[in-house]
Structure 1
Amino acid sequence: MDTNTVNYQEEKKIYYKVLVGLLLLTAVTFVQPGLFMTHSTFLAQMLIAVTKGWLIVMYYMHLKGEKLITAMVWFALALVTVFFIIVIGIDVVNFQFGAESHITAPAAHTAHAAH
């Protein structure tokens, strides 16, 4: 008996489920800013994007059973996250246009500028 036999009908069902999941997540991407997590839209959008990326990598790139590649992906993600935090931390400390920014400017300054 051949143990390498693949049931393509079952595989096709899985791919369609992943496709429907990706389409639903894409729809959630568009409606999320007005429905939920409105104060942390960036976080919600990033979580949706990471979920979609994970689905694509695991199923469409056939990396679901790969242990070493999965470990390397997590390592690379952690490395990029550390560098991102370092760069953003340096940038925030050295931000030159704090008085002109609508995010960091004092409330009285922004209220006065709106008039």
Structure 2
Amino acid sequence: MDTNTVNYQEEKKVYYKVLVGLLLLTAVTFIQPHMFMTESTFLAQMLIAVVKAYLIVMYYMHLKGEKLITAMVWFSLALVTVFFVIVIGIDVVNFQFGAESHITAAAEHSAGAVHATPAAH
């Protein structure tokens, strides 16, 4: 008896479910900025993107059963996150151009101030 038989009809059902999930998440991506979590759109969009990427990698790239690859992906993600936090932490502490920044200078100006056109560099 062959134990390596694959039921392609069952697999096809799983792929269709993943496809429907991806389509629904894509619809949510477009609807989200107008309907919910309007104050944290970036966070919501990134969470949706991570879920979609996970579904694609696990099902369509057939990495669902791979233990070593999954461990390496998590390790790489943790490593990149640590370096990202370190670099951003150093950059924020040593930020020199607060007066010239469009982000930090807005808080210093009054609400009714008219901004002049910046000079050519």
Could you state the TM-score of these two structures normalised by the residue count of structure 1?
A: 0.87
Report the counterpart of residue 94 of structure 1 in structure 2. Answer: 94
Paired residues of 1:99 and 1:105 also in contact (CA < 8 A): yes
Provide structure 2 residue ranges, at least 5 long, that are not aligned to the other structure. Answer: 116-121
Query: Matches of 1:75 and 1:10 in 2, distance apart?
Result: 32
SS of the aligned residue for 2:16 comes to helix
Paired residues of 1:102 and 1:110 also in contact (CA < 8 A): no
SS of the aligned residue for 2:56 comes to helix
Report the counterpart of residue 49 of structure 1 in structure 2. Answer: 49
How many residues are matched?
Answer: 115
Report the counterpart of residue 22 of structure 2 in structure 1. Answer: 22
Structure having the higher Rg = 2
Report the counterpart of residue 2 of structure 2 in structure 1. Answer: 2
Q: Per the alignment, do residues 60 and 45 of structure 1 end up closer, same or farther by CA in structure 2, a change over 3 Å counting?
A: same
What's the CA shift for 1:15? 0.6
Q: Per the alignment, do residues 37 and 110 of structure 1 end up closer, same or farther by CA in structure 2, a change over 3 Å counting?
A: farther
| One-letter code aligned to 2:75 | F
- The equivalences for 1:26-105 within 5 A come to 26-105=26-105
Q: Per the alignment, do residues 113 and 88 of structure 1 end up closer, same or farther by CA in structure 2, a change over 3 Å counting?
A: farther
1:62-87 alpha-carbon deviations (Å, 9 max, x no partner): 11111111111111111111111122
Q: Per the alignment, do residues 56 and 97 of structure 1 end up closer, same or farther by CA in structure 2, a change over 3 Å counting?
A: same
Tell which deviates more after alignment, 94-103 or 17-26: 94-103
Structure 1 vs Structure 2 CA RMSD: 1.9
Query: Matches of 1:91 and 1:6 in 2, distance apart?
Result: 53
Provide structure 1 residue ranges, at least 5 long, that are not aligned to the other structure. Answer: none
Query: Matches of 1:110 and 1:58 in 2, distance apart?
Result: 51
SS of the aligned residue for 2:105 comes to coil
Query: Matches of 1:54 and 1:15 in 2, distance apart?
Result: 14
Query: Matches of 1:110 and 1:101 in 2, distance apart?
Result: 15
Greater fraction helix: 1
Could you state the TM-score of these two structures normalised by the residue count of structure 2?
A: 0.83
Query: Matches of 2:11 and 2:91 in 1, distance apart?
Result: 47
Which 4+ runs in 1 deviate beyond 4 A?
Answer: none
